Amino acid sequence: MNTASSLPPGPWMVLGLMSGTSADGVDAVLARVDPTGFREGSPFLELAGHLHEPYPPALRETVMAAANDNLRPGALCVLQRDLGEHHARAACQLVDSLGLKPHLASLHGQTVQHHPARGATLQLADPYVLAEKLQCPVVWDLRRRDMALGGQGAPLVPLTELWLHGRREPWIALNLGGIANATVWDGSRVRAWDLGPAMTLLDLAATLWLGRPYDPGGATATGFVEESLLEAWLAHPHFRIPPPKSTGREVFGAAWLDAERRGLEHLPLPSRLGTLAAFTAEACARELRAWAPPLPAGTPILLSGGGALHGRVRKELAGRLPGFRIQDDLQFPSGAREAVSWALLGAASAAGVPGNLAEVTGASAAAVLGSWVPG
């Protein structure tokens, strides 16, 4: 395993690559990180640049087939390479545009399967392609060490949220990617878990009924909420399980929407999407009410991810979470936050610093995460 001994003293330029559950492409960031800052809890120095590289339609279609368990092993093997090439192109485009060379890269890969109850997860993107293109070491596969220790392998961003937001005042960081996850800091302890669906179901519905991969701004989700459907959906077992817990498309994905499609299609299209938006918001609200500690009035909820741009989801959140200040997380450009988190987790691995919080994931211990490919 590569460690800080093979890198300069610092600061390091760290490339972070994140492909989220929404499977719309890859976000690449280049961040300057102080490896000595992990001791004080403030390793992040600055964001040098960010780039989003969407998946071509054929690649996204194959990713979705893998996520829906409809890909044969041979095609899965080729997808690993194709995703590696796509990530490497995004990385090279970013570093070339900035004229900077990274000291290391941290690769999340594209999650195509996640089964925490079985201790199994699969993120695809060939790290060797990235190492050859960038000529720097690559840390990847950061989730499975936590799972080997009995953890969920997710969420891993809470520690990075503490490094980025600090510990002075209470806050909630709510990421609305494909799946909604929250990190809650009450001033003394951090809690984090996957709340439920964020944009997975809304994007699948847009593909099905609008003929496009998403509904920009939630412009079509303007109808009434079908409360009987909402209550039935919220009876799902996921919402009765206390943290630690994680979820994914295997639970809230194409199979879920297919099972609920008949109940939705009697509604006008704006109400189908409006009800799904309310599901995202109410799932978040109920999860926070059920499992978050008491927080002072006016505690900020810092939104990030694609769902932060969805007007109906934001409106529903505001109505269902009175007493909180719902606001955009403006620390980074839209889409960059999780890639910055992954850059920090890669740097932590290089510095020999644990990247998981055992009390969050349910692991038996904190551990240094990831496998390394030399540059």
- With pLDDT > 90 as the criterion, what percentage of the chain qualifies? 92
More confident residue, 226 or 9: 226
Q: Is the pLDDT of residue 4 over 70?
A: no
Convert the pLDDT of each residue in 274-330 to its tens digit: 999 999 999 999 999 999 999 999 999 999 999 999 999 999 999 999 999 999 988
More confident residue, 3 or 345: 345
Convert the pLDDT of each residue in 112-171 to its tens digit: 999 999 999 999 999 999 999 999 999 999 999 999 999 999 999 999 999 999 888 999
At the topology level, CATH places domain 4-152+365-373 in Nucleotidyltransferase; domain 5 (3.30.420)
* Secondary structure (H, E, C), the chain: CCCHHHCCCCCEEEEEEEECCCCCEEEEEEEEECHHHHHCCCCEEEEEEEEEEECCHHHHHHHHHHHCCCCCHHHHHHHHHHHHHHHHHHHHHHHHHHCCCCCEEEEEEEEEEEEHHHCEEEEECCHHHHHHHHCCCEEECCCHHHHHCCCCCCCCCHHHHHHHHCCCCCEEEEEECCEEEEEEECCCCEEEEEEEECCHHHHHHHHHHCCCCCCHHHCCCCCCCCHHHHHHHCCCHHHHCCCCCCCCCCCCCHHHHHHHHHHHCCCCHHHHHHHHHHHHHHHHHHHHHHHCCCCCCCCEEEEECHHHHCHHHHHHHHHHCCCCEEEECCCCCCCCHHHHHHHHHHHHHHCCCCCCCHHHHCCCCCCCCCEEECC
Query: pTM of the prediction?
Result: 0.93
Chain mean pLDDT for the chain:
95
User: What residue spans define the domains of the chain?
Assistant: 4-152+365-373, 158-328
Convert the pLDDT of each residue in 318-366 to its tens digit: 999 999 999 998 899 888 999 999 999 999 999 999 999 999 999 999 9
User: CATH topology of 4-152+365-373 equal to that of 158-328?
Assistant: yes
Q: Averaged over 246-250, what is the pLDDT?
A: 93
Give pLDDT, residue 5.
Answer: 61
More confident residue, 39 or 81: 81
User: pLDDT tier at 40 (50, 70, 90 boundaries)?
Assistant: confident
Q: Which CATH architecture has domain 158-328?
A: 2-Layer Sandwich (3.30)
Give pLDDT, residue 10.
Answer: 82
User: pLDDT tier at 49 (50, 70, 90 boundaries)?
Assistant: very high
Give pLDDT, residue 61.
Answer: 94
